[in-house]
Amino acid sequence: MSRIEKQQDILSKLKDSFSRDILDITAFKGDVTVLVEKKAVLNVCNYLKDDPSFRMNYLVDVLAVDHMPRSPRFDVIYCLYSIPKKQRIRVKTMVAEGESAPSVTGIWAGADWPEREAYDMFGVVFEGHPDLSRIYLPDDWEGFPLRKDYPLRGYKDRYNPYGEEKE
């Protein structure tokens, strides 16, 4: 079986196991993205980590994307890699503003800092994270800079005379 057939084979198996929770599976330029219902993220991640045909034992990154004005507003993407199987999968879920995303720190401890970064930059709260605080910016910073409605030069205050006025 070729690599691509094999990949399709295990992906259809994944789809069968979580038929209700997996909304879509896409392969774009060789990158597989699985769009998952938010409540099922932890189950799918656990399955991907433990199932012998996936064995996604390595968490590459956790990131958020702001799709304003879409509703739900944010995409949260968990990038996974399998060191034994040498394959990559991205698990994607959609999170509305004010909602929380599930934290995968219980599955991969390395999700700690990337989730803090996503919170710092987008304000996406990760439920179950042991210590969700800002990582780059000071604790008293206002706003989330990578949101699309945050001005490029920041907001005007006594330290930032070139920023935009807050309405």
Partner 1 sequence: MIKDDNENDLLATKELTLHLGPQHPSSHGVLHLVIGLQGEMVTSCRPDIGYLHRGTEKIAENLLYHQFVPYTDRLDYMCSSSNNLAYVLAVEKLLDIEVPERAKYIRVIAAELSRIAGHLIGIGAWAVDLGAMSILLYAIREREMVLDIFEKLCGARMTHSYMRVGGVRYDFNKVCREACEELVRVLPARVDEYETILTGNRIWLERNKGVGFIPPELAISMGLSGPALRASGVNWDIRKDEPYLVYDRLAFDVALGENGDCFDRYMVRMVEIRQSLRIVQQCLAGMPDGPINVDIPEIVPPPKQDVYRNMENLIHHFKYVSQGFKVPEGEAYASIEAPKGELGVFIVSDGSERPYRLKIRAPSFMNLQTLGRVVNGLYLADVIAVLSSLDPVFGECDK
Q: Is 38 in the site for partner 1 (CB under 8 A)?
A: no
Q: Nearest CA to 68 among 153, 149, 142? A: 149
15 three-class SS: helix
User: Which stretch in 9-17, 27-35, 38-46, 156-164 sits in contact with partner 1 by CB under 8 A?
Assistant: 27-35
Separation between Cα atoms, residue 131 and residue 146, nearest integer Å: 21
**From 15-23, 38-46, 56-64, 157-165, span contacting partner 1 (CB under 8 A):** 56-64
Measured distance CA(153)–CA(76) in Å, rounded: 25
The b/e string for 49-71 (b: 16+ C-beta within 10 A; e otherwise) is beeeebebbebeebbbebeeeee
Is 24 among the residues that bind partner 1 (CB under 8 A)? no
Q: Which of 121, 123, 124, 129 binds partner 1 (CB under 8 A)?
A: 121
Q: Is 97 in the site for partner 1 (CB under 8 A)?
A: no
| Minimum distance from residue 127 beta carbon to partner 1 (Å) | 20
According to CB under 8 A, which residues from 4 to 23 bind partner 1? none
Structure tokens given for 83 = 């060191």
Using CB under 8 A, list all residues that contact partner 1: 28-29, 31, 33, 57-61, 63, 65-66, 77, 79, 83, 86, 88, 90, 108-114, 117, 121, 135-138, 145-146, 150, 152
